[in-house]
């Protein structure tokens, strides 16, 4: 791999041992990928701190969170003192909501661990956004900007909707990127790798966010980690629709980028989205495909009586919370059902000020932040059947927790929360 003089100096220790370790990791990683060089980045979204009991014990034995960062972010057996982040950096979702730890079944020592991790991240200058949707709370890289982001649903949004450039990085590469301001130049950093591979003809109206999730789920399974170009979309899908489409496509497949002709920034036309390439396949999405996707998402669901409704995967926007409040205001959740709604912490504070948190609480639900059920492995005790308005959560949580999961619209889920039964079908 070719390094600039500044990068060689970092590798040789000019900026201290942690930066040298970070550069060493990036060189090894880049060479394994076949990257010829690194590219500068000033936008990193990652994970640091001791996020599991194992890491907590590791920190206790090896000398604190510098040791955890050395081992798990820098792949360094030697413990190095971690300097402040060189780049703009923000923290992704965590393993708990410290303000709802009891409901999540977490012991006080886990909350202490969380708080220590947060203090460590803050001391490095990492923004404590604690969300899978950093783009909803102010991290909006510009078109063409090179980033180093983790979290599949954020990566696909970053590439597709914002037109910024990132691969799906890991804890190690984002840790190294925030100390060096570099990431390997490969994959979606390179212009020609961002062209479409599959043409998708949309032949059914997508009425709501749930419809966009089903559409993404169907397409992701077919294209896997390649790049679909969607033609036939009328109007401009809003943030929740694009968020759910990408999250679903990266769930059933490994989609890191999509184009919607006339909507996303690198697809003004079908021709521009493909560039010199020709589509390897043309996919049709009509009523039959929509039904098939719905049945696949609901594959685990049998019993209609539910005990849990989880909303906010990916984390809800303020407008989605407002929508829930419209559906919920003046009603009570069934006594056998828990309703948890996840959003970034910054949005929860806005929801508090707007009175939305109060409406949800009055109905018997909880507005939570920083995590979700899949990340925290936390569901209300006694949950056998849950309902979701997210394809991604309906795909993962039943597999993770051994429960049944229904997927429907937000209105279907709120109705189920109030009645204690999921009665909806695809309309
Ligand atoms: Fe976010 Fe959890 Fe879904 S981290 S994308 S809410 S699985």
| Residues of the chain above pLDDT 70, percent | 100
Residue that has been written with the tokens 């629709």 in this structure: 241
Say how many Å lie between the CA of residue 160 and the centre of ligand 1. Answer: 18
- Contact (CB, 8 A) for 128 and 371: no
> Residue 139: its pLDDT value, please?
98
Class of domain 300-419: alpha beta
Report how far residue 153's alpha carbon sits from residue 65's, in angstroms, rounded to the nearest whole number.
28
Directed axis angle between helix 17-33 and helix 171-180, to 10°? 130
DSSP states of 128-181: ---SS-GGGTT--PPTT-B-EE-SHHHHHHHHHTS--B--B--HHHHHHHHHHS
Q: What would the mean pLDDT of 396-403 be, rounded to a whole number? A: 98
- Domain 5-189 grouped into CATH 1.10.10: no
- Model confidence over 16-67: pLDDT tens digits? 999 999 999 999 999 999 999 999 999 999 999 887 778 888 988 898 999 9
Report how far residue 44's alpha carbon sits from residue 379's, in angstroms, rounded to the nearest whole number.
30
Say how many Å lie between the CA of residue 418 and the centre of ligand 1. Answer: 24
Report how far residue 1's alpha carbon sits from residue 36's, in angstroms, rounded to the nearest whole number.
5
26, 68, 70, 2: which is closest to 169 by C-alpha?
Answer: 26
Q: What would the mean pLDDT of 117-146 be, rounded to a whole number? A: 97
279, 288, 158, 157: which is closest to 230 by C-alpha?
Answer: 279
Best residue among 372, 397, 405 to mutate for probing ligand 1, ranked by most atoms within 8 Å of CB: 372
> Residue 9: its pLDDT value, please?
98
What residue owns the CA closest to ligand 1's atom 6?
A: 313
Find how far residue 36's CA is from the centre of its chain: 29
Predicted TM-score (pTM) of the model is: 0.97
* 260 — pLDDT class (breaks 50, 70, 90): very high
50, 128, 136: which is closest to 92 by C-alpha?
Answer: 128
Residues of CATH 3.30.499.10 domain(s) within the chain? Answer: 300-419
E strands present in 234-360? 259-260, 281-285, 308-311, 338-343
- Model confidence over 177-232: pLDDT tens digits? 999 999 999 999 999 999 999 999 999 999 999 999 999 999 999 999 999 999 99
Residue 125 makes CB contacts below 8 A (sequence gap 6+) with: 84, 85, 89
Of ligand 1's listed atoms, the one at least distance from the Cα of 132 is 1
Instruction: Kindly state if the Cβ of 375 falls inside 6 Å of ligand 1.
Output: yes
Instruction: Kindly state if the Cβ of 341 falls inside 6 Å of ligand 1.
Output: no
């Amino acid at each position: 791999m070719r390094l600039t003089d500044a990068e060689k100096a970092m590798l040789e220790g000019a900026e201290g041992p942690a930066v040298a370790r970070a550069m060493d990791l990036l060189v090894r990683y880049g060479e394994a990928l076949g990257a010829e060089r690194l590219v500068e980045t000033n936008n990193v979204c990652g994970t640091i701190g001791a996020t599991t009991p194992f890491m907590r014990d590791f920190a206790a034995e090896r000398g604190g969170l510098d040791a955890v960062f050395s081992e798990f972010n820098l792949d360094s057996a030697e413990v190095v003192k971690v300097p402040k982040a060189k780049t703009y950096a923000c923290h992704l979702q965590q393993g708990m909501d410290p303000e709802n730890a009891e409901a999540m079944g977490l012991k006080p020592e886990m909350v202490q661990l969380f708080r220590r991790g947060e203090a460590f991240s803050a001391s490095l200058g990492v923004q404590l956004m604690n969300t899978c949707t950093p783009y909803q709370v102010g991290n909006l890289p510009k078109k063409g900007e090179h980033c180093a982001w983790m979290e599949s649903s954020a990566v696909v949004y970053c590439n597709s909707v914002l037109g910024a450039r990132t691969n799906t990085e890991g804890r190690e590469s984002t840790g190294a990127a925030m100390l060096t301001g570099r990431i390997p130049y490969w994959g979606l950093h390179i212009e020609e790798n961002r062209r479409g591979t599959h043409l998708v003809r949309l032949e059914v109206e997508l009425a709501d966010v749930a419809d966009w999730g089903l559409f993404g789920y169907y397409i992701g399974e077919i294209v896997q980690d390649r790049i679909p170009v969607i033609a036939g979309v009328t109007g401009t899908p809003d943030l929740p629709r694009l968020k759910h489409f990408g999250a679903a496509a990266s769930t059933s497949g490994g989609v890191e980028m999509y184009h919607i002709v006339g909507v996303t920034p690198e697809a003004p036309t079908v021709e521009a989205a493909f560039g010199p390439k020709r589509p390897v396949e043309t996919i049709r999405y009509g009523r039959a495909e929509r039904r098939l996707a719905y049945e696949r998402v609901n594959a685990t669901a049998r019993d209609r009586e539910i005990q849990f409704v989880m909303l906010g995967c990916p984390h809800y926007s303020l407008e989605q919370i407002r929508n829930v409040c419209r559906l919920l205001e003046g009603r009570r959740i069934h006594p056998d059902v828990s309703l948890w709604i996840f959003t970034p912490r910054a949005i929860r504070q806005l929801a508090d000020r707007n009175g939305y948190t109060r409406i949800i609480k009055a109905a018997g639900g909880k507005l939570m932040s920083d995590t979700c059920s899949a990340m925290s492995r936390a569901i209300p005790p006694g949950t056998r059947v849950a309902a979701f308005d997210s394809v991604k959560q309906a795909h993962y949580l039943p597999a993770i927790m051994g429960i049944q999961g229904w997927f429907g619209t937000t209105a279907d889920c709120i109705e189920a929360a109030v009645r204690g039964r999921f009665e909806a079908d695809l309309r």
